[in-house]
Amino acid sequence: MTDRTGLPPSSAPPDGFRPGADRSRPPAPGDLALPVTGAKLLTAADGRPLRVVDLPADTDWVPLGTLDGTPAWATDVPSADDLPGRARGWASLAAEVPEPHASLAGRALAVVTWRRTHRWCGACRAELTDLPGETARRCPACGLYVPMQLSAAVLVAITRPGPAGRADELLLVRHATGPTGLWALVAGFVEAGETLEAAVHREVGEEVRLPVDRLAYFGSQPWAISGPGVLLAGFTARAADPHAEPVVDGRELTEARWFGLDALPAELPPAYSISRWLIDATVTARRR
């Protein structure tokens, strides 16, 4: 849930990025500013956030939370022509800036995109109003509560024993859309009514037709590329049948292949992605 007070009770300034929706004080000139134009962010040349003072005084700001204790604000700008900074997509930013900055940038994109697409009540068509202290809106006519929602997606690093005397193998796949040259992990969105674990088993079954076991949670990452408000949950698993080969449908995936952990391809997911963290952790764990 969002942080209603904006700051934790401790006296020390909080480290890193903390999401929030505090409007109890107006933006100060030195606060962080994250203008969003289309699907891009305006940042300083080094990818760090601009300051509120850099933008026109009549800018309409939306609270995002704090970065190392400094409040951060987003705004939706139709055109970046007369504004300072450089327009960047989230992927190029995340590749360059420290993780808390990437998380803040991702939240700015998610919040602004959500506000664009949640202006009217879906039940009675009245215009929604902002709820103080929350990233949520309410319908003044019928009372409908409209919080910003997250989509959950899972991804899984599946391994199996290698040939006798050789390293374990990792299953990597190539997608039909997006960065098609990349060797990635099996991944997919969680359906309503489904657990994360069940989603892993279903996606692996659908995408490569393999049964897996020894499913273990690895970690999570907010993701700002594949739409607003996506949370990726990473898992590791073992192939239930070490001799089974993957079968792809040719539509979502074009290829799936076992790679020795000592002979992974060079075209792996970027260093800022949980896909890569999972792959690297799998390689490290098998070396021990």
Adjacent-strand bridge partners of 151? 230
Distance CA(1)–CA(54), nearest Å, equals: 30
Nearer to Zn ion, 55 or 136 (CB): 136
- Parallel/antiparallel/unpaired status of strands 145-147 and 129-130: unpaired
Residue 216 binds Zn ion, judged by CB under 5 A: no
Residue 62 binds Zn ion, judged by CB under 5 A: no
CB distance 209 to 165 below 8 Å: no
Distance CA(185)–CA(189), nearest Å, equals: 13
Residue 145 binds Zn ion, judged by CB under 5 A: no
Among 95, 142, 150, 285, which residue interacts with Zn ion (rule: CB under 5 A)? 142
Residue 128 binds Zn ion, judged by CB under 5 A: no
CB distance 221 to 232 below 8 Å: yes
- The least distance separating Zn ion from the CB of residue 122, rounded to whole angstroms, comes to 8
Would you state the structure tokens that stand for residue 31, as one six-digit string?
A: 């606060």
Segment contacting Zn ion (CB under 5 A): 29-37, 60-68, 107-115, 139-147?
A: 139-147
Residue 122 binds Zn ion, judged by CB under 5 A: no
Distance CA(275)–CA(56), nearest Å, equals: 39
Residue 139 binds Zn ion, judged by CB under 5 A: yes
Segment contacting Zn ion (CB under 5 A): 71-79, 113-121, 171-179, 234-242?
A: 113-121
Segment contacting Zn ion (CB under 5 A): 21-29, 124-132, 176-184, 258-266?
A: 124-132
- The least distance separating Zn ion from the CB of residue 127, rounded to whole angstroms, comes to 9
Chain-centre distance for alpha carbon 60: 25
Residue 131 binds Zn ion, judged by CB under 5 A: no
**Smallest Cα–Cα separation from 203: which of 148, 157, 142?**
157
Question: How many other C-beta atoms are found inside a 10 Å radius of the C-beta of residue 45?
Answer: 8
Among 53, 95, 124, 263, which residue interacts with Zn ion (rule: CB under 5 A)? 124
Query: What ranges make up the beta strands (E) of 77-189?
Result: 86-88, 129-130, 136-138, 145-147, 151-160, 169-175, 186-189
Among 97, 121, 167, 233, which residue interacts with Zn ion (rule: CB under 5 A)? 121
Among 80, 131, 144, 225, which residue interacts with Zn ion (rule: CB under 5 A)? 144
Q: Residue 44 corresponds to which amino acid?
A: A
Among 141, 176, 263, 271, which residue interacts with Zn ion (rule: CB under 5 A)? 141
User: Does the CA dihedral 213-219-224-227 come out positive or negative?
Assistant: positive
Distance CA(99)–CA(94), nearest Å, equals: 7
Residue 127 binds Zn ion, judged by CB under 5 A: no
Residue 256 binds Zn ion, judged by CB under 5 A: no
Please, where are the H alpha helices in 29-140?
90-94, 99-117
Among 28, 123, 247, 263, which residue interacts with Zn ion (rule: CB under 5 A)? 123
Residue 129 binds Zn ion, judged by CB under 5 A: no
Nearer to Zn ion, 92 or 129 (CB): 129
Binding residues with Zn ion: total (CB under 5 A): 8
- The least distance separating Zn ion from the CB of residue 137, rounded to whole angstroms, comes to 10
For Zn ion, the binding residues (CB under 5 A) are: 121, 123-124, 126, 139, 141-142, 144
